Amino acid sequence: MPQDDRSFDVETDLLVVGAGAAGMTAALVAALEGLDVILCEKSDMVGGTTATSAGTVWIPGNREGQRAGTPDTVEAARIYLAAMLGAQATDERLDMFLEAGPIVLDYLAQRTSVQFAAPPVHPDYKNLPGAAIGGRALGAVPFDGRKLGDDFDRIRPPRREFMVLGGMMVGKTDIPPLLAPFRSWTHFKHVIGLLTRHALDRLSYKRGTPDHGQCTCRQTV
């Protein structure tokens, strides 16, 4: 009798391959929705290319853009994409992306620690009909890596170019104070705060723990 080779050591509702932003978000949402999930990662760290990227997401018509004072519509983005892509703009995946994008952001904002914010000015790359000055390009709100405990070491670090002073991640709002710390009392206080936190972090961690957008995925169920 031939052996039935359709037996399994482990059964799961969803098997996700790859722990970058795509895989971790899929696994996170599935787990929140009650599925039993296995997330496989071939390397010894999570984060993938996402962790070493600039971390900006482009999602038109989102709530964070409205909050930042740059209201936008999906219709305007559709016009922009049509001007940019021409005949390819009929791909039905574009409709899916435009419709689902804001829903995904709202879901993550309400159910997880993954939060995004829109800088007031972050123009679309091409000056075409429907282009926006800001609101579509979002960055992840810094996440306190200390909350991950020992798992912090399992997150792929950013590129060295994105860090200073041996592992300090710098966000866009940190750059003006760091470049001119003595310009104002506010700048000075900001820089002292950054350096103090970094010095304390380095007593316990291999790098600074405030995570500015690179791989902020963390499940909060």
Please state, in angstroms and rounded to a whole number, the distance separating the CA atoms of residues 164 and 166.
Answer: 6
Of the residues 48, 60, 134, 210, which one makes contact with ligand FAD according to CB under 6 A: 48
Nearer to ligand FAD, 201 or 211 (CB): 211
Of the residues 14, 31, 56, 205, which one makes contact with ligand FAD according to CB under 6 A: 56
Secondary element (H or E) of residue 56: none
Q: Which stretch binds ligand FAD (CB under 6 A): 42-50, 92-100, 127-135, 174-182?
A: 42-50
Contact assessment for residue 134 and residue 68, using Cβ atoms and an 8 Å cutoff:
yes
Nearer to ligand FAD, 52 or 219 (CB): 52
Residue of closest CB approach to ligand FAD: 20
Residue 2 CB, shortest distance to ligand FAD, in Å, is 30
| Beta strand residue intervals within 127-218, DSSP E | 137-140, 143-144, 163-164, 168-169, 210-211
Contact assessment for residue 49 and residue 20, using Cβ atoms and an 8 Å cutoff:
yes
CA angle 80, 125, 142 (to 5 degrees): 110
| Beta strand residue intervals within 9-54, DSSP E | 14-17, 37-40
Please state, in angstroms and rounded to a whole number, the distance separating the CA atoms of residues 121 and 129.
Answer: 18
Neighbours of 177 (CB within 10 A): 20
Of the residues 12, 15, 17, 75, which one makes contact with ligand FAD according to CB under 6 A: 17
Nearer to ligand FAD, 56 or 187 (CB): 56
Q: Which stretch binds ligand FAD (CB under 6 A): 37-45, 71-79, 100-108, 199-207?
A: 37-45
Residue 48 CB, shortest distance to ligand FAD, in Å, is 2
Residue 215 CB, shortest distance to ligand FAD, in Å, is 8
Q: Binding of ligand FAD at residue 21 (CB under 6 A)?
A: yes
Q: Which residues bind ligand FAD (CB under 6 A)?
A: 17-23, 40-43, 48-50, 52-57
